[in-house]
Amino acid sequence: MKEILYAAGLAFLLAGCAVTPPVADVSGGARLALSDDLQCRILGDLGLALAADNYDSTVMGEGETKIDCTAAFQSAGLPMTGNPERSIRFNAPQFTDDDEATVKVDFLCLRLCGHGEEIHLHRDGSIWKIADRKPTWIS
């Protein structure tokens, strides 16, 4: 009987430790699971605000994972020339709130040229807009 109670208690504790996906509020109150597509759409909004001429569609996610944002960037009309020496590279958004996120961005130009920024975004309706920019590195 003790073994059954112990096993049931352990199962109950472990159920509380289950990993749940992060959520983001993107539609005026409906909380959705944070998907690669949603992250790419947010980065597409940021790309439009930056108005550059070459975006790297491979986004670095958590734990060295990569997210392919090609379809979202094409849908947003972001140019992707495929020139890795002159491009903008995004890391996946890190959410501080349902309406706030931070994105680390690398602006690369040739081998010894470029800079990085931490860009803070705020959601305005369904569009993510730049709220603040801070430099993080320069070469």
We report the CATH number of the domain holding residue 38 as: 3.10.450
d(Cα 14, Cα 17) in Å, to the nearest integer? 5
Q: Is residue 27 part of a domain?
A: no
Q: Which comes out higher in pLDDT, residue 82 or 100? A: 100
Is 7 within the bounds of a domain? no
pLDDT at 120 over 90: yes
Which range of residues forms the domain containing residue 63?
34-138
Kindly state the average pLDDT of the residues 72-80: 94
Residue 10 lies in a domain: no
In a domain, 28, yes or no: no
**Mean pLDDT across 72-82:** 92
Residue 80 near residue 93 (C-beta atoms within 8 A): no
The Cα–Cα gap between 103 and 43 comes to: 8
| Least-confidence region, from 61-65, 100-104, 114-118, 127-131 | 61-65
CB 92 within 8 A of CB 59: yes
pLDDT of residue 111: 75
Domain count across the chain? 1
Mean pLDDT for the chain overall: 80
Reported pTM: 0.72
59 in a domain, yes or no?
A: yes
Residues 6+ apart with CB under 8 A from 120: 100, 101, 102, 130, 131, 132, 133, 134
What does the alpha-carbon distance between residue 71 and residue 77 come to, in Å, rounded to a whole number?
Answer: 10
- What per-residue confidence (pLDDT) applies to 33? 54
Mean pLDDT across 46-52 = 93
Would 123 be classed as within a structural domain?
yes
Is 100 part of a structural domain of the chain?
yes
Over residues 86-100, mean pLDDT: 91
Q: Which of 44, 63, 124, 53 is nearest to 87 (CA)?
A: 53
At residue 45 the predicted structure's pLDDT band, cuts being 50, 70 and 90, is very high
The verdict on residue 64 lying in a domain is: yes
Does residue 75 surpass a pLDDT of 70? yes
Q: Is the predicted pLDDT of residue 104 greater than 50, yes or no?
A: yes
